[in-house]
Structure 1
């Protein structure tokens, strides 16, 4: 998939998180400059073999693990007064996204939409097609707003660190 996306100048970085889920982040040069990334992961449902069950419960290694697949756009947008963070879910399901062709087409579409849009319109367009937008500055509960803000900020920091490590590895 990475080779095909590279034909469209789309770069990829990835890592395996603590839940052993491989997370992929896609971007082009404009998206990198504007702190906008596409995240994708697919996780198989927890396999509850006897070795993984302790006293009738799934071991703590698997509790809270995300299952299915998710495609989202994670971004930071600088407006006149403050940084605004967004995690805009475009697709979430209990199964992996159809075929690789559908996933690749969706990623290419999102990159093109972001690349062809004026900065002020990117948020509007993406929120209009998101199925589950997380927009911290619109959350009324202060504690939840701060948690959501920190989660997205940390995710963007991880992506930037992955990109820096990837670039350093190529040099």
Structure 2
């Protein structure tokens, strides 16, 4: 056998190359619209803290709005996601189609949009369907002090209860947001 034939037969035996059609993720035109809107709305804002707050409010609005803690159990996101999966006949749901999302849906959309507009943030996955975004901001109280740059502080971005609120990472409110 020629070398090419050997490689082809091995790939077919391994299950690769058996289909001429390559798999691509579904397109997400709704996400592209979100990127356009966020770019137009957020980039003119010059203060990074205000950009983060505005993006958080945008994401919350796209995912069903602010949810009071006491009404979180009544927020019917599961049915919405199930309907999307059924319509698409897939477990892969484009993020732009989700209109009712909780912690991890919102955190993923925030991260994707933040990356598109150049806002630095981390996506952190917790337990029991929790996820959140962490951002680093300069300590404003030390701004102007000689001797180098002021230290950065890490904040968690609230996308659920008070969209746009920034909570210091080790604070009681941040722990309640992450582990409630």
Q: Does TM-score exceed 0.5, indicating one fold?
A: no
More strand as a share of residues = 1
Using the size of structure 1 for normalisation, the TM-score is 0.24
Structure having the higher Rg: 2
